[in-house]
Chains A and B, each alone.
Chain A
Amino acid sequence: MMYSWLGAGFLATLVMTSMARGAGELGLTRMDLPFLLGTTVTENRRKAKAIGYVFHFLLGVAFAALYAAFFVLIGRSGWWIGALLGIVHALFTGTVLINVLLPIVHPRIGTPETAANETALLEPPGFLMLNYGRNTFFVALATHVAYGTIIGLVVRV
Chain B
Amino acid sequence: MRKDGYAPIEDYALIGDGRTAALVARDGSIDWLCLPNLDSPSVFAALLDQQRGGCFELQPSIPFKSSRRYLPDTNVLETTFETDRGVVRLTDAMTLPDEHLAPAREIVRLVEGVSGQVPIRWRCAPRFDYGAVAPRMGSRAGVPVATSSREAIALCHWNVGAVSLEAAAISGAFESRAGDRSTFALASASSEPLVMPSRAAAEGRLAKTAAFWRQWTGAREYRGDWMAAVHRSALALKLLIFAPSGASAAAPTTSLPEEIGGERNWDYRCCWIRDSNFVIYALLELGCYDEAKALFWWFMQATALTEPELHVLYRLDGGIGLAEHDIALSGYRDSRPVRVGNGALEQMQLDVYGDLFETAWLYSEGHHSLDRDTGIVLGRIADYVCDIWRQPDSGIWEVRNGPFHFTHSKVMCWAALDRAVRLAERGEMPDRHAARWRSEAAAIERFVEERCWSDELGSYTRTAGDERVDASLLMLPLVGYGDVRGAKINGTIDAVSRKLRRGDLVYRYLADDGVGGREGCFLNCSFWLVGALARAGRVGEATTLMHSLVGRANDVGLYAEEVDPVDGTFLGNFPQALVHLALIDAAVAIDKASRS
Binding site for B on A (CB under 8 A): 24, 27, 29-30, 44-46, 49, 110-124, 126, 130-134
Contacts and interface: CB of A to CB of B under 8 A. Distances in A.
The majority secondary structure among interface residues of chain A is loop
Contacts of A118: 243
Contacts of A134: 319, 321
Contact of A133 (B18, B305, B371, B372): B305
B304 A24 contact: yes
Given A45-B371, A112-B36, A120 B305 contact: no
A110 B243 contact: yes
B246 A110 contact: yes
A123 B373 contact: no
B537 interface: no
Interface in B142-186: none
Given A123-B317, A131-B318, A114 B244 contact: yes
A134 B317 CA distance: 12
Contacts of A113: 97, 104, 244
A120 B96 contact: no
A111 B239 contact: no
Contacts of B245: 110, 120, 123-124, 131
A102 to B, nearest CB: 14
A121 B294 contact: yes
Given A46-B373, A116-B239, A123 B36 contact: no
Interface in B314-347: 317-319, 321
Interface of B: 16-19, 36-37, 96-97, 104, 212, 216, 238-239, 241, 243-247, 290-291, 293-294, 297-298, 301-302, 304-306, 317-319, 321, 371-374
A111 B244 contact: yes
Contacts of B16: 116
A29 B318 CA distance: 12
B298 A123 contact: yes
Contacts of A115: 17-19, 96-97, 243
Among B104, B241, B246, B374, find the residue whose CB has the most chain A CB atoms closer than 10 A.
B246
A34 B338 CA distance: 42
A117 B241 CA distance: 11
Which of B104, B244, B246 is most buried by chain A, counting CB atoms within 10 A of its CB? B244
B244 A123 contact: yes
Given A30-B305, A112-B36, A123-B317, A45 B244 contact: no
Contacts of B241: 116
A4 B305 CA distance: 37
B297 A132 contact: no
Contacts of A49: 373
A45 B373 contact: yes
A131 B39 CA distance: 14
A119 B371 CA distance: 20
Nearest to B105: A115
B244 A110 contact: yes
A30 B317 contact: no
A102 B306 CA distance: 26
Contacts of B319: 130-131, 133-134
Given A46-B371, A119-B294, A123-B318, 13 more contacts: A27-B306, A45-B374, A49-B373, A114-B19, A115-B97, A116-B96, A116-B241, A120-B244, A121-B246, A121-B297, A124-B317, A131-B319, A133-B305
A152 to B, nearest CB: 32
A21 to B, nearest CB: 12
A112 B297 contact: no
Nearest to A24: B304
A30 B320 CA distance: 12
Interface centre among B97, B216, B305 (most CB of A within 10 A): B305
Contact of A120 (B17, B216, B239, B243): B243
A119 B321 contact: no
Contact of B96 (A45, A117, A126): A117
Contacts of A45: 371, 373-374
18 contacts: A29-B305, A30-B301, A30-B304, A45-B373, A110-B244, A110-B246, A112-B244, A114-B19, A115-B18, A116-B16, A116-B18, A117-B212, A120-B245, A120-B294, A121-B293, A121-B294, A123-B244, A124-B317
Given A112-B36, A131-B319, A119 B298 contact: no
A126 B16 CA distance: 22
Contact of B243 (A29, A116, A133): A116
A-B CB proximity, top 6 nearest: A116-B18, A123-B245, A110-B244, A45-B371, A119-B290, A117-B96
A30 B244 contact: no
A54 B482 CA distance: 49
A130 B371 CA distance: 26
Contacts of B290: 119
Nearest to A124: B244
Contacts of A114: 18-19, 243-244
Which of A24, A116, A123 gathers most chain B CB within 10 Å? A116
A130 B372 CA distance: 26
A50 to B, nearest CB: 11
Nearest to A116: B18
B168 to A, nearest CB: 28
Nearest to A44: B371
A140 to B, nearest CB: 15
Contacts of A44: 371
Contacts of A117: 18, 96-97, 212, 216
Contacts of B244: 110-114, 120, 123-124
B19 A46 contact: no
Contacts of A121: 246, 293-294, 297
A136 B372 CA distance: 24
B326 to A, nearest CB: 23
A79 B387 CA distance: 47
